[in-house]
A and B are shown apart, each in its own frame.
Chain A
């Protein structure tokens, strides 16, 4: 779970509020900020550089032997099948739900909208845990598609619903006046305008499918992530695992490329000025019951099943499962790691966020791209790179908190950027100048004006990253020092021993910690649409 809700906001979705570049060297010495941002960007290139170096190091013959073999072919087929079945299923489900909740007179639309986002609060591997508890025989491609769709469709629902809310209804009126019946209005005028939202959401889900480990292990479906962890557990620094990591990175880059091509460079904003009138909701009439069945069914499968299973295990376990084992210990360690990682990631993102708001330019865009790309890499690849580098070059750092925190920083850098960038944009350089004109020194001006204004955004960044770390499984499994257990890893080791009963409290605590973020995300998507 390296991509949690916060990574939805990719750089392209953020408004570029910094108008003209600030004058260089006037407010803060930009060269040092550039240097810091450059350092973080270099760090974020580590995983990519590592794979390139390993490929070079082992030689072409070994690469060929390790990559061009049946095992890799089988994993590629599995991955392709998984993407090809899950993505269309997610698109179909998310667009239907978004249209029903935003554009029709469906009863309790606001409630259904909330319930369509809420599955995000349940980590994907808890989804599969819930299903496997209920239907122990689930395995293979179709089960993987089914559970992935339920766990990930909100990533598409959020942007599609927000876009639907923002679309200018005048466009639909125009299409109707040109003789199109309501169905053709939807397919010819509305759907094409959802393309950007669908492309963005689909990419996010596709990357999740590549990086997810726990979900697929539980229903015994082999993907690159599960294969790499398997290899890793048998030999810490095997060229085989590294080569699989290389292929996985190529898959990520391929997906991003496909999305870029599909998205194109088109503009889908409203053309022209003037206030958009709120869209009319279509009457469902006789379709109300089937529509209700769809939304209620989705909620039952994506929320009802996890909550039912967890509730049942808690009921069966009673008080004793809360007292057994290192639950309190795992909770404290999770909180400490999350906060530490959150603060570190926010500090690491700060120079870049500053540059992208105050000194935009070509160099800044390249550096920023580095910050963002690393967040789309699977946790398993980042962890693998860090393990190999520490083992080969700086052994004392192997399996230390420092390495684990670096992994978290890399995985959640984009999330930290999102909140910081937005709040720095709220603190224009003019305010600092005004403070200096009123007698403050440059340092005082930054401290008293900019830091104060950016503080809420920084706090939001810390929280976003911290919640991501709470539910992170793969990298933590691979990198955590001996004896360190988070809620996620403890949950994982219990379920691996088929102790579903004992695992339930850990799952519940992860869900409880994630719920506030999910609700905030839902509220925010409403707000950006001006409601």
Chain B
């Protein structure tokens, strides 16, 4: 069963195409992350769902109710969809309590009790209720914005890069807190972000957008290990890409013979190896395939090595590795591959 269905959504601004033919479905209570570089159309997608803009073509259906189709759209205030914007968008002229109560229906019984319930839900101190938005830190403002959106008991929650303005440490904290709150409330969520790590850790469905098109959607694991193409692979994390010849369940490449995950294609292919699959072993008498470290960059817990492989005309491959027993430039090393490698579907 699906909560929200997007059918072939398209939107253009003048001659610039913001979105073309995007289709996606969201399950009740699920968490979806929409990732993409800036300008990929992810914020446009969110604004279409929220009702701030009308799609040029396509259909948006929420719980069987058509929200937008053929240039007609239900206005934002009738959709029952909550949104937390990048900087919270709190009303600067209202106290925190009034901000939270802003969306309550007129004459909501036990208004005060409901405000307290909401502020507790987002784990903020009750003493903040009398303050003004500018007296709060960025993270606290985000929590208030979340409480304000939850106050309407929305059918769906949209998060528009709500953590991007926060410090790294605080960001992770907030992400966990928000997941917890939304999970407890059982509200399906769509998070828009350009941070792939955030998307992978937050969501149970990730959708990758690029230049207005939906490249791939699936579980975080699926996308990370089996991206559709090179760009998707590199967007979701570091990767080593090598030409190879696939034969049955194995492939031969510059790193020797490796196991492949799904032997869909045979012959000349391109394989993708995640750096954490590669183990660097210092071995002066290593048989081929082996290589020589040409550059070492120490950066704390992990370090980056560039390794030139013997007998192939490829640029040195760059590997992030643990700084324990770090080889130095000039050392000969062997590269062991753990697990299966991924073959790109086409080309």
User: Is the CB–CB distance between A268 and B92 below 8 Å?
Assistant: yes
User: Is the CB–CB distance between A173 and B52 below 8 Å?
Assistant: yes
Q: Which residue of B lies closest to A277 (CB)?
A: B43
Complex CA gap A266/B134 in Å reads 10
In the complex, the number of residue pairs spanning A and B with C-beta atoms less than 8 Å apart equals 102
Does B149 interact with chain A (Cβ within 8 Å)? yes
Q: Which residue of B lies closest to A194 (CB)?
A: B93
User: Is the CB–CB distance between B92 and A176 below 8 Å?
Assistant: no
Contacts A174-B83, A178-B103 hold; do A270 and B76 have CB atoms under 8 A apart?
Answer: no
Q: Which residue of A lies closest to B83 (CB)?
A: A177
Contacts A177-B76, A272-B165 hold; do A170 and B132 have CB atoms under 8 A apart?
Answer: no
* Chain A: interface size category: 20 to 34
User: Is the CB–CB distance between A189 and B152 below 8 Å?
Assistant: no
**A192: chain B residues within 8 A (beta carbon):** 91, 93-94
Q: Per a CB cutoff under 8 Å, which of B76, B94, B148 touches A173? A: B76
**A436: chain B residues within 8 A (beta carbon):** none
Complex CA gap A270/B105 in Å reads 26
Complex CA gap A81/B190 in Å reads 56
Does A437 interact with chain B (Cβ within 8 Å)? no
Distance of B73 from chain A, by nearest CB (Å): 12
Residue of A170, A270, A271, A280 with most chain B CB atoms under a 10 A cut-off: A271
**A439: chain B residues within 8 A (beta carbon):** none
* Chain B: interface size category: 35 or more
**B134: chain A residues within 8 A (beta carbon):** 267, 269, 271
User: Is the CB–CB distance between A178 and B87 below 8 Å?
Assistant: no
Complex CA gap A177/B50 in Å reads 7
In residues 129-174 of chain B, which contact A (Cβ within 8 Å)?
A: 132-134, 138, 141, 145, 148-149, 151-152, 165
**B88: chain A residues within 8 A (beta carbon):** 271-272
Distance of A452 from chain B, by nearest CB (Å): 38
User: Is the CB–CB distance between B91 and A171 below 8 Å?
Assistant: yes
Distance of B188 from chain A, by nearest CB (Å): 15
**B254: chain A residues within 8 A (beta carbon):** none
**B82: chain A residues within 8 A (beta carbon):** 177
User: Is the CB–CB distance between A195 and B93 below 8 Å?
Assistant: yes
Does A168 interact with chain B (Cβ within 8 Å)? yes
Known: A171-B89, A272-B141. 4 other contacts (CB 8 A): A176-B52, A177-B76, A180-B77, A269-B92
Pairs of residues from A and B, 10 with the lowest C-beta to C-beta distance, nearest first: A272-B87, A178-B103, A170-B89, A176-B76, A192-B93, A174-B89, A271-B133, A177-B83, A170-B85, A176-B77
26 contacts between A and B (CB under 8 A): A171-B91, A171-B92, A173-B47, A173-B50, A173-B52, A173-B85, A173-B89, A174-B85, A175-B91, A175-B102, A177-B82, A179-B78, A180-B103, A181-B75, A188-B102, A266-B132, A267-B132, A269-B92, A269-B134, A270-B87, A272-B88, A272-B138, A272-B165, A273-B87, A273-B138, A273-B165
